[in-house]
Structure 1
């Protein structure tokens, strides 16, 4: 009897993960391929877009050759919003600009903000222009490669680039498009052609669709003989939103937390919501809108500390941190090691660790880093609710939930419970679910991935005291952080 499976693939900041999922939601097999981004002068954080396709060509055959299955559908997601520019023959013109951690377009942000007004942009497009916005980055490319745009240019994100290779379709999902502020209209849910003409004339725009809809079928690809033709492929989306799908956190008044290289927050609403320091987006499903926020670092911090401490095993650092009381015995950290995105929107912010004494060890420091990200989550939640977002429940996923310590600290700091599902594979699992649902093979995520545990908050008054100090510490040291940033240039 033939065995069917759904294939999901997610291109992340530090690795690409592929998964095969059975019709009942069980993970048959998965594989990861690590990669790295390039950091350059003037805030550039970029990656050769050809890596995304190369990794599909490696991971898809690897899973198919290890498992006797027939792929029934394919879903793909990736970090975003990224801006990767090609000519109309799909030849890359430069490395892709990554999401908000890439700060190359600060001049273009100021230029467009002066031209249109940030208040107007917020009212019309649900977001002001920040380093997260795709529009200024596309303009950055247009100004530097005018000959390409004069003859026609395309832009891709990780999912759409791979989809182009396996289906021949030039498409993008509406959620990803909504992060290309101000090129997309959240009112019409279509491209704003007039704004595209003003910002990056000569751009050929991809066809839009909802993340869980079928955008096309696979064609024969000589480089991947294991890829059969005629397999349905969905539009896909940005990694955090695919991971949101993987735990069913798409309901109204629900918040999703993604513990990854950066920590991301997505609050769901049935109406447009906006705040000057957050990102308003279209959701993955028709009729859904989001208020989103994101830290510039989270898992990147724990990886940094692991490397400088010389400890290869995260479990040993977690064990050391578990032996330290809440509050890290008076050690407080600002996690802005790569600037901060929401709600500060301060790319020149820098990390601060205060209260150090000779009795503090690596367990204190590691725990303080985790507590710092929890304080940042609390800050984001407060801003979201002040802006009118309603948060009745929280679901979490990502690499950071493999141990209970980090989500427990976040629940303790925020005073809110978090649901964790049985499978925490991540965005690639969400991709597989969306294509299975698109094909009518599964109705609800609950069938595939039931809730496995709930992290309940503990009453720890020390965190309220430290949170107040956390908020004060940024204000008190921001000027110093900015001066030090100039030395780092």
Structure 2
């Protein structure tokens, strides 16, 4: 009888769970939908107990009833990140969690820390410039704007580590997630930066650093009662969702790149050495001996959802209409900066734009332009990665957006790459299950559970048009950035 493993991924809009055996066969899947709070423009938050912890308990309870006598080898959780959840000494949240780069409230702190510590010094120490993706400026924002909460803050968590703490009592953070806490950690030393840590987060107890496939702790008696899972079950450290999703499709070796189609678009390039990427994210890897150069757009799948909500169209209906629209959306280009932008422009005050609208354009062209915007933004991101020294040779596409044929084809046409689509596109929860198997010696770092199902090659007939549109896309931001910023200042 094969052992089972559980993988749970806490996303922006839902939490997904996978029950699999230790050979990678999926036994059961489940999902819990939840909402993200946007209390102000530039603010994005989650309630840690009502969303993260409640979803994890519910999924564990469901899977506890599906074990059917099979031993449970282990459990891993991944989640959105980097996020900032301040808690007291007992791990009780003091406010809602401040989310990753889609939350842009710390713009002033980014400038202040960059000036105080020195941009070049930050770049050489952390591999990155400070952006809305960085946790350090958000810590400083909390100190300045909510001093009463900061005074009571004794620990801080991300989505996965908060749940790990309540399952096991272990206060840990994986090296990869820590490396997104710029400027508090260095991927070149795989450790905290002591002087800067004391300046930015004085008195804050830092979590123990571990690799994502290590055991963080074991299920406590109280957690076993809540979840229905066996007491003592090993719980792996886990990590940030996009990187675990890369592992789920076998992207773990230098020269491989994952493109994740989700509420946001994330590209992850695997490397054997830490690199400097001024407009990117230079991170430690999930597994010891690897690093990542990556980046992410802020608004992709969430933008297509917005178009659907605005126009009253469903996904299948809009996709069919967009497929019948002309490539280039009949001269319509969308800048997808509806929540600012992360990589590579790192502009929290960038705003969305539809350029070229006429009375002949309908929702088909608008929806297609949103899909094409992801292609233009991803091309910009991947070209920036190549300029930084990343030599990707294989591109694997994952996420819900790959299940239909239109979006991946548009991406390949615009970027000029062939994408491999794996058989299993469940996402990070499947990679979590693999991490659980690794942590309990049921798999190793060479284990591959997933196979490639098909490839999407670029259509050469669209290359010239999309090259021209991409140049316009790049020029539009430069031409309108000042106006975007002025409008951002007017928004409440």
TM-score (structure 2 length as normaliser): 0.95
- Is 2:387 the partner of 1:386? yes
Q: What residue is the counterpart of 1:464 in the other structure?
A: 467
Give runs of aligned pairs for residues 46-445 of structure 1, distance below 5 A.
46-50=45-49, 51-68=51-68, 69-146=70-147, 153-221=154-222, 223-311=225-313, 313-443=314-444
SS of the residue 1:41 aligns to: coil
- Is 2:483 the partner of 1:480? yes
Deviation per CA, 1:201-256, whole angstroms, max 9, x where unpaired? 11101111111111222121255151211211111000101101111112102211
Distance 1:322 1:451 in 2: 25
Distance 2:67 2:201 in 1: 45
Distance 1:445 1:297 in 2: 33
- Unaligned 5+ segments in structure 2 are none
Distance 2:345 2:449 in 1: 37
> Do 2:331 and 2:356's aligned partners in 1 also have CA atoms closer than 8 Å?
yes
Q: What residue is the counterpart of 2:31 in the other structure?
A: 32
Query: How far is the alpha carbon of 1:145 from its aligned partner?
Result: 4.9
Distance 2:221 2:67 in 1: 20
Query: How far is the alpha carbon of 1:22 from its aligned partner?
Result: 2.1
> Do 2:42 and 2:104's aligned partners in 1 also have CA atoms closer than 8 Å?
yes
TM-score (structure 1 length as normaliser): 0.96
- Unaligned 5+ segments in structure 1 are none
Query: How far is the alpha carbon of 1:194 from its aligned partner?
Result: 2.5
Q: Between Structure 1 and Structure 2, how many residues are aligned?
A: 487
- Is 2:35 the partner of 1:22? no
Stretch moving more, 262-271 or 154-163: 262-271
SS of the residue 1:19 aligns to: strand
> Do 1:127 and 1:274's aligned partners in 2 also have CA atoms closer than 8 Å?
yes
Q: What is the root-mean-square deviation in Å for CA atoms of aligned residues?
A: 1.7
Distance 1:298 1:189 in 2: 32
Stretch moving more, 351-360 or 110-119: 351-360
Q: Residues 26 and 441 from structure 1, CA distance in 2 versus in 1: closer, same or farther, beyond 3 angstroms?
A: same
SS of the residue 2:376 aligns to: helix
Query: How far is the alpha carbon of 1:106 from its aligned partner?
Result: 1.7
Distance 2:134 2:269 in 1: 18
Distance 1:315 1:148 in 2: 45
Query: How far is the alpha carbon of 1:58 from its aligned partner?
Result: 1.0
Distance 1:169 1:482 in 2: 43
Q: Residues 410 and 35 from structure 1, CA distance in 2 versus in 1: closer, same or farther, beyond 3 angstroms?
A: same
